[in-house]
Structure 1
């Protein structure tokens, strides 16, 4: 089993979360909420308004997300889904787990290591885009995520 940190459309309540629940893709078990220990630029970019975690440690913000334990089948699915290694690269990252203390409040927890899909391949101007600490496809940023089903064939 492998730990994967998701920060974008695969999180709970986001457009691609159902793919994490689909047993045909493999098994994914939610472990905890977390945020990156280091700052990273999380930007929304490209013609489909995709969230990208740029592999530029020290810039941007501490990024919020979720840690899942996935089996080999789900890991293979996620690699294909994320276009790994061409679009995204699976890299190790240090995270601080967050425990739910009720009423939507989270508190700091243990530090752990996990894989994340980040990218070293991006347009230079992406570093000038606004960064986010948490991605929400339905957020007030006004950048509507275009699902794979809605994209041109």
Structure 2
């Protein structure tokens, strides 16, 4: 096997730069089949690659609240349920888009949490194994109405679920 000379390696890195990817855990309207999933597929927002289905290792309250029936993961570790969602590997451009979309840091904060992998699609070498734990960023909130803790707490969000709380899209709000 030939070794690359330092100058060759430098040229290679300029022509083919390494893209920084970040794990993001989505639990609400950005999941597959939900109203904002199309935003994860829009390449103008950046790159998002689905890795696996997972659930939070720690319990959190996932509630549907506000006049637009938005799913909120309240940053109250130990209270609530193990929340199910999806882990994506996203590039910096998608991460910036998601920060904007999630009104971070005004409405949500992006924090790291520990997740247990439940099911994965594909065998990519970067994909966490079923039963393993991994860290990912999640958009959660520490700013909420006190009565939100009295609302029904979900382990999984579905905008079309039998809870009867119809999600109001961003386009319909404007």
Structure 2: how far apart are the matches of 1:124 and 1:7? 22
For 1:12, which of 19, 28, 32 is the aligned residue?
32
SS in 2 for 1:34: strand
* Structure 2 counterpart of 1:145: 167
- Separation (CA, whole Å) in 1 of partners of 2:134 and 2:60: 17
1:48 paired residue number? 68
Partners of 1:108 and 1:130 in 2: CA distance:
29
Superposition deviation, residue 12 in structure 1:
0.1
Once residues 172 and 109 of structure 2 are traced to their aligned partners in structure 1, the CA distance between those partners, rounded to angstroms, is 25
Residue ranges of structure 2 left out of the alignment (5+ in a row): 1-20, 122-128
- Larger CA Rg, structure 1 vs 2: 2
The 3 A distance-change label for structure 1 pair 48 and 58 is same
Partner in structure 2 of residue 119 of structure 1: 141
Alignment partner of 2:82 out of 32, 37, 62? 62
Structure holding more strand per residue: 1
1:117-140 deviation line (CA, Å, top 9, x unaligned): 000010011011110000000000
| Alpha-carbon distance in 2 for matches of 1:109, 1:32 | 11
Worse overlay, 91-100 or 74-83: 91-100
Secondary structure at the counterpart of residue 23 of structure 1: coil
CA distance in 2, matches of 1:20, 1:108: 23
Match status 1:135 vs 2:157: yes
Correspondence for 2:94 among 74, 85, 89? 74
**Matched residues in 2 for 1:80 and 1:149: separation?**
15
Relative to the length of structure 1, the TM-score reads 0.94
Q: Which runs of 5+ in 1 are unaligned?
A: 102-106
Normalising by the residue count of structure 2, what TM-score does the alignment of the two structures yield? 0.82
Runs of 4+ in 1 over 4 A off after TM superposition: none
* Secondary structure, aligned partner of 1:31: strand
